[in-house]
Structures are given as C-alpha cells and as structure tokens.
Structure 1
Amino acid sequence: MNLSDFGQFLSGRSSVRQYEDREIEPELLETILKLGARAPSAGNVESWDIVVVRDPSVREFLSDAALNQEHIAHAPVVLVVCANYVRSMARYSERGILYALEEASIVATYLMLGAHAAGLATCWTAGFDDDQVRDILKLPNHIRPVTLLALGYGAEAAISPARRDVQEHIHQDEW
C-alpha cells in the first residue's frame, strides 16, 4: 500500500451509528482483536484489556450508561476497551496511568482500522458513565473503561465530516 492508498483508506473510515441485523463471524472478530493486539505498548507491558459484549441485554444496559446512545444497543458487538493501570503502574509508577490510557486508545484505533479493512463499521463512544459501565461489566477497580466501540456491518454510508485544515494544529519548534 502506498501513501495515497493509505490516505484514501483513512478517508473512507468514519463513525457509523446504524448497523445491519447481522452477526459478525467469530473468525473475523478474532482477526480484528488480534490486529488490535499489534498496537504499540510502552515497555511492551500491554496495559489494556477488552470486554467483548455480544449479549443484547448487556448492550442495552451499556446503551443506557452511554447517555442512551442507541447505536450501542443495536450494534451486534461492543468492544469495551479498558486501561489496566496495575500492569503499567507496576513498571512506571504514577506515569503508568497515562500509559495505560494511551495504550487503550491506540488499541481501539487499531481495532477501528482493522474493522474498516474488513468491511465493518465502528463508532468510538466516549460519552458514558464510568461507574455504570464498571458495574454492568463487573470491572475491577484498577480497570478503567476508555471507549465503547460499537462494531458491525454498517447500514448507512460512512460519511467523513469536514475537518480543520491541518495547519491549524501544527506548530514549528515552539507554540
């Protein structure tokens, strides 16, 4: 893949909130999860975990916890990508909290790109009540949910929103 192809690939991915009533094949889901696991990690500590949610009733509870965002209930799979502080703090002390959050975010990004390459759609969902998600999924105290990643076959076209010109974000040598 050349740079132009990669740019087109990235431009073709966007958040999708409508999904077909179609299950994701277990082998395909496993492949996508393995792609997520290829994400870089500080000291190769891999301070992240994923809860794979297929159960419709659990997805409904997660939808409620996500400020009633219905796509969470309607996606056939929700990948709850979590930061695992214990793994990173054991090696990096307090700085490990940041590393765990970063790593979970990178893993989620790899999952989205892998899903896109497989013809699936995703929606990164960060608006949710942490404590409710923690209770629903019985997460240990040292685990923090970072995103609820809805995953499925898109029932709508992915439309990329307009973006700021990249130069609005770039600073040379200093702010």
Structure 2
Amino acid sequence: MESSEFLGFLQSRGSVRSYTGEQIAREEVEYILRAASTCPTAGNREAWDVIICRQEDLLEAIADAAFSQDFIGGAGTAFVICANYVRSMSRYGERGILYAVQDATIAGTYMMLAAHVLRRATCWIGAFDEEEMKEILGIPPHVRPVVILLIGEGKEQAASPERMPIHEHMHEDYW
C-alpha cells in the first residue's frame, strides 16, 4: 500500500450512528480480534480484553449506561474493550494502570481500523457510566471498561468531520 492510499483509507473512516441492526459474522469478529492481537502493548503484557455484545436487550442496557445513546441498541454488535490492570501491574506496579488503559486504547483502534477494512461502519463511544457497565457485563474489579466500539452495517455513509490543521498539534523540541 502506498502512503497516499493509507492516508486516504484513514480519511475515509468516520463515525456512524445509524445501523441496520445486523450482527457482524463470526469470521469478521475473529478477523478483527486477530488484527488487534498484533498491536503493540507495554512490555508485551497484552493488558486488554474485549466483550462482544450482540443480544438486543444487552445492547439496550449498554445504551442506557452510555447516558441514553439509544443508537447503540440498533448497532447489532458492540465490542466493549477493557483494560486488564492485573496483567500490566504484575510487572509495572501502579504505572501498569496507565499502561493497561493505553493497551486497551491501541487494541480498540486496531479493531476499529480492521472493521473499516471489512467495510463495516463503526462508532467509538467513550461516554458511559463505568460502574453501571461493569455491573451489566459482570466485569471484575481489576478490569476497567475503556470504550464501546460499535461495528455493523451502517444505514448512512461515514462522514469525516473537519479537522484542525496538523501544525496546531505540533510542537518541536519544546512546548
């Protein structure tokens, strides 16, 4: 892939908030997880886990926990990506908490891009009540839900929002 093709691929991805409700196929789930398993992690601890949610009532409960973002209920498939503190803290102590969140975020990004390769619509959701999500999904105390990633068949085309010029993000040598 040429660098311009890669940049075009990234620019063609955008968040979709309207879905047909169709679940993604098991083969697609496995492809997405294989892609995520290649992501870099702190000390190769792979301090992330994912819960694949497909049940309609479960998706509706997740939507409620996400401050009533009702479109979640119609997505068909949601990946709840979690940071598993124990894996990272066993080597890095308290600093491992940060590393686990970073690992989960990188894995989620790889999942989102793998879904985009499959021409699936995605939406990254970070706004939710963590304690409610942990209760709904039976997540243990040493694991933190970091993101809900919707993956499915969109009813609309993804639209990439206007972005800041790159120079507004950049600092050379010092802030």
Same structural fold, with TM-score higher than 0.5 when normalized by the shorter chain: yes
SS at match of 2:90: helix
| 1:92 counterpart letter in structure 2 | Y
Q: CA RMSD, aligned part only? A: 0.7
Tell me, in whole angstroms, the C-alpha distance in 2 between the residues paired with 1:28 and 1:48. Answer: 19
CA distance in 1 between partners of 2:38 and 2:75 (Å): 24
Q: Is the 8 A contact 2:59 2:73 kept in 1?
A: yes
1:25-174 alignment runs, 5 A limit: 25-174=25-174
**Residues in 2 aligned to 1:71 and 1:81: alpha-carbon distance in whole angstroms:** 18
- Letter paired with 2:98: L
Structure 1 unaligned segments of length 5 or more: list them. none
TM-score (norm 1): 0.98
Question: Structure 2 CA distance, aligned partners of 1:170 and 1:72?
Answer: 35
Question: Is residue 14–residue 160 contact of structure 1 (8 Å, CA) maintained in 2?
Answer: yes
Structure 1 counterpart of 2:150, which letter?
Answer: A
Deviations 1:88-129 (A, max 9, x none): 000000110000000100000000000000000110000000
Taking only the aligned residue pairs, the percentage that are identical comes to: 47
Conserved in 2, the CA contact under 8 Å of 1:81 and 1:145? yes
Residues 14-33 of structure 1 mapped to structure 2, 5 A cutoff: 14-33=14-33
Matched letter for residue 126 of structure 1: G
Instruction: Tell me the alpha carbon deviations over residues 46-69 of structure 1, each in whole angstroms, 9 at most, x when there is no partner.
Output: 000000101111110000000111
Matched to 2:79, the amino acid is L
Aligned residue pairs total 175
Deviation (angstroms), 1:71: 2.2
Moved over 4 A (4+): none
Alpha-carbon distance in structure 1 between the residues aligned to 2:37 and 2:54: 20
